[in-house]
Amino acid sequence: MSHILSILIFFPLVAGLLGFLINQKSIRVYGIAVATIEFLLSLWLWFGFDGSNPGMQFQEFIPLIPSFGINYYLGVDGISLFIIVMTTLMTLLGIVGLSVKKDLKNMIITLLFLEVAMVGVFVALDVILFYIFWEFSLVPMLYIIGAWGGDKRLYAAIKFFIYTFAGSLVMLVGILFMGYLYYKTTGHWSFALTDWYKMVLPLDLQKWLFIAFFLGFAIKVPMFPFHTWLPYAHGQAPTVGSVILAAVLLKMGTYGFVRFSLPLFPDAAVAYITPIAIIALIMIIYTAMVAYAQKDMKQVIAYSSISHMGVIILGTFAMNVEGIGGSIFLMLSHGIVSGALFMLVGVIYDRRHTKLMSEFGGLASVMPTYATIFGIMTMASVGLPLTIGFIGEYLSLAGFFKVSPILTVIGGTSIIVGAVYMLSVLKKSFFGPITKEENKHLSDLDLKEKFALIPLVAIVIWLGIYPKPILEPINTSTKALVAFMHKKAQTKEAKATIHVSKALKEIKK
């Protein structure tokens, strides 16, 4: 397994290039086969992973430009492991459930190229390599929205690209400056993240660098007020584009906070807790209210994604094991649930070619299987206990409660407002009399759609009841992260905020 990470990155790349040689009739089977192998490889990575080891595993190191400290450096820990597994799973299910008829071959090849970039982001430990994968992920998604999207697809695609690319350029300035600082400090260049962790910077410098990285990650999340690109992207993207965007691409931003912002700039992160928490609360409450006002079912889920990402931000900046571990679990939860909800909207859109809730009503009587799965995902979205959505939300809010009980209580309203808009969708679309003649003869889920959705239902229930297999490796790496941040922190405020229990003190030593 010494090269498993490289295989995970380059297998879909090679398969995508070979896909140009596959004929149109066989491309769906080919795409599913490739995505299945990639998913099985990620499971192999999971089974070979030592959950008791908090450090980086399966590391690979090949010098690329040694004179400037740029290397092919990969590794995975409990923080990134399950995001990789989720990435390969959602790509597979997205291809299985594909309903695109126009230019199917290019769509599948584009999805395979996108998978290369997504996996690369989560395993890269050289920051330049990370940035290459980060930027490369924009191109396939730009193509997916622009080529297969709705009537305003070009506007949505360009807006998505400009917003995220602009944030990335600011982050690039921070990356280059960090590399220069390392050179001035040690006398040689390095862009290895593990080397950067050893640097202790003054608070003023940390604040400026934190902002540079923050803008790149915040726009990707997206955090208020940079969120306006997301509803357009979701609204115009084809179903598979929305699934991958919600499940994986948004998580790159929150992953960046955990992997870069917190360990590199712990004092600055603590100094900015209050303004970041306020932004997160605006995301939670404001976008939830906007979601409730929507008439389009897909837009409700798009705005709900922003609201849920606000809870992830709160957990991430709780600076303790409960909060950070909960936010990572919530990344997985949101990826599974939101991906499933976008698939479900795609199912009804394929049948009726509309997403307006006013066009539905009484669907439960004609599409019982569809309505059941939609109901389960709705319950998971609002954080019902014994579903996957409850675990991450509870831990994230419990972690931030140690920082600010008042702000946490306000943030906890996400559960209430989330229930309001999601149950409203359920009521308007599935219950009551059938008022539209077109809805009386709609077909329930076909075999392809069941293959795409039933595994997600199983995961939602399984991890809601028994999250231990996922939480333990996450918490092992999170404990080491928090202990490292506490040791590295210089200000009294940071030392007090980054909570370290007796168990973590042993790790810190």
pLDDT of residue 78: 92
| Listed residue (132, 295, 125) closest to 195, CA to CA | 125
Strand partners, 73: 61
Three-state DSSP class for residue 468: helix
pLDDT tens figures, 242-270: 999 888 888 999 999 999 999 999 999 99
Question: 142: Cβ–Cβ under 8 A, 6 or more apart, which residues?
Answer: 157, 160, 161
Task: Please report how many Cα atoms fall inside a 13 Å half-sphere around the Cα of residue 311, on the Cβ side.
Answer: 37
Helix axes 4-18, 104-123, angle to 10 degrees: 160
Segments in the chain below pLDDT 70: 499-509
How far the first Cα of the chain sits from its last, in Å, is 31
pLDDT of residue 351: 86
pLDDT of residue 75: 94
pLDDT tens figures, 148-157: 888 888 998 9
pLDDT of residue 39: 96
Question: 134: Cβ–Cβ under 8 A, 6 or more apart, which residues?
Answer: 117, 121, 168, 252
pLDDT of residue 499: 66
